[in-house]
Each structure stands twice: as C-alpha cells, then as structure tokens.
Amino acid sequence: MKQIIKTDKAPLPIGPYNQATAFNGMLFVSGQIALDPLTGNLVLSDIESETRQVLQNVKAIVEEAGSSLHHVLKASVFVKDMNMFGRINAVYAEFFEESTAPARELVQVAELPRFVNIEISVICILPNS
C-alpha cells in the first residue's frame, strides 16, 4: 500500500501533491524548490544557496522516510539556465559523492514554480522495507 511521507523539516507542498510517497521499498520525492521550511521564504540570493536549500529539503524528506541520500538511485534536476551547470554541480557534490552518486539528468526548462532557478526530485531505496 502507498504511504504518504510528510515532514515539517521541508516545505509543505504548494499544490495538490505530497512531499513524497513510498511503495514497495521505494521512495518517490516530489520536486523540491528552495523554500526555507522555517520561514516559508524562497532562498534566491545565488544559485549555490538556492541549490543547497533544495538539496537540504530533499534530504529532510528522504530522512523522514527512514532512508538517506546514500540510497538515492535517481535524481532529476530542472534548471532555468544551463550556464549554471558547473555551479550547481559544485553544490551537488557536497551532498553526493562522485563514486556513489545517483543516476541523474539535468534539463533546462523555460520556467519553474514560483519562478525559481532550480528544482530537484529523487527516487530512493527504503533500506528497511
């Protein structure tokens, strides 16, 4: 049966969806943007800070489900400007070691929710399922 994952350590959804769903040992985390869960404000000072907040939100949801970033199998990254690729990768490397990093795509898009610069979703293993 599908389980809904919710935590106050990540921003609440801004639409008709949940932070994540778990099913059959897998976790599907909805796209996260750089909303600070404590203030509800967007973190948009620079792409590094924005990416870091997005990944902190992803991490909080994954950990609430009983897993860790080490168990992420796939990440989908959506950006408004492909020229930020290197700067995003530098922050991404703070959260994922290159030798064990998940599969990933990084796609440039025209717009993202709340006109942010980056959104990331992940698929993860739930090791204790």
Confidence at 129, pLDDT banded by 50, 70, 90: confident
Mean pLDDT for the chain? 97
Residue 104 CA: distances (Å) to CA of 13, 93, 122: 23, 13, 9
Domains of the chain, residue spans: 3-125
If DSSP states are collapsed to H, E and C, what string results for 7-42?
CCCCCCCCCCCCCEEEECCEEEEEEECCECCCCCCE
Tokens of 75: 């990440």
Write out pLDDT tens, residues 87-106. Answer: 999 999 999 999 999 999 99
CA-based angle 60:65:71, to the nearest 5?
Answer: 80
Residue 14: what pLDDT?
Answer: 86
The arithmetic mean of pLDDT across residues 3-12, rounded, is: 97
Residue 33 CA: distances (Å) to CA of 74, 89, 98, 120: 17, 16, 23, 7
Q: What is the CATH number of domain 3-125?
A: 3.30.1330.40
Q: Kindly report the pTM of this predicted structure.
A: 0.97
The arithmetic mean of pLDDT across residues 5-26, rounded, is: 96
Question: Higher pLDDT residue, 54 or 14?
Answer: 54
Q: Where are the alpha helices (DSSP H) in the chain?
A: 47-64, 85-95
Residue 128: what pLDDT?
Answer: 86
